[in-house]
Amino acid sequence: MTTDGVRASTQMVGILGWPVRHSLSPVMHNSEFRRLGLDYVYLAWEVAPEFLEQAARGLRALGAVGYNVTIPHKQAIVTCLDELSAEAKMIGAVNVVCLKDGRAIGYNTDAAGWRDDIEQDIPLAGRSLFLIGAGGAARAVAVGACLAGVRRIVICNRRYETAEALAEILHHHFPKLQVECGGPTSGECHQRIRECEVIVNATPVGMAGHGGSPIPAEWLAPTHYVYDTVYTPAETPLLRAARERGCKTRNGIGMLVRQGARAFRLW
C-alpha cells in the first residue's frame, strides 16, 4: 500500500507477530478501509517476543485504535491487557485488541472464524478431532470445536505438558468432552488419528520459512478431512500429502478472512 490518502488524522491499526511479513491482513483491511472510505491504515509490526510488552505500551501511547496479534504472541499478550472478553478468557489467548479510553481490551475472533470456515465443508457436532498444536491458535480451534459440539479431541503436541494444560482448560469448561494427549512421534497419536474424522494443524509448521509437515504423511487416510490454519503457502506439505491421499482439505485463508471481519467490526 502507498501512503496516498494517509493524513495526520488517519487512525492506526495493525498486527503484531514474529514473523509477520507473510501476513495478508494489511492487504485485506486496507482494501476494505478504502472501499468504505474510512480514514484508517493497517500496518504490520514485526515484534520479537522480548519486546512485546514495550510494543503494546507504545501502541497505547501512540493512540492506535487496536491491533491483531498472531504467532507467537497470542497467549503472552494477555498480561499486557486490562480486560478480556468472555471467549478470550476461556481460550486464554487473544488475537484482537481494542484500545479505548486508555484501556486495552482483548478478544478472540479466531474460534468463531475457524468454526464458521470449516463448517462450510463438514459439521463438527458429534465428531472426533485430531488437533496438532497446543498454543494460542490451537486453543481457539479447540474451544471453537467444543462450542460446535465435537465429542472428542486428541491433542498432539511436541511438548506434552502444554497439551495437558490445554486438556485441563477443556475439561473445566466442557466436562463431557473426551480429551486425550500425545506427542507427534508417539505410537499413541498414530493409533488415535485413525479413529478421528477431522485433522487440524494449528502450528506454524508448513508456513513459509517453517517447512515440513507436522505429522508423517503415512498417518493420513482418505477418510480424513484435513484443515491447516496456515495460508502461506496456499498448499502446505501437509495439505499436499492429504490431497494426494484422497482427503478433503482446506487451508486457513477463510479463517483469516472471517476472524478479520469480526475484528474489523470491533475496531
Active site (catalytic) residues: 74
Q: How many angstroms separate the CA atoms of 234 and 24, rounded?
A: 12
Task: Calculate the dihedral angle through the C-alpha atoms of 91, 95, 101, 102, rounding to the nearest 10 degrees.
Answer: 90
Q: How many angstroms separate the CA atoms of 138 and 158, rounded?
A: 13
Q: How many angstroms separate the CA atoms of 217 and 239, rounded?
A: 10
Which helix or strand (DSSP H or E) is residue 43 part of?
strand 40-46
Q: How many angstroms separate the CA atoms of 3 and 202, rounded?
A: 34
Phi, psi of 56 (to 5 degrees): -65, -40
DSSP 165-198: HHHHHHHHH-TT-EEEEE-TT-HHHHHHHTT-SE
What interhelical angle do 253-266 and 25-36 show, nearest 10?
50
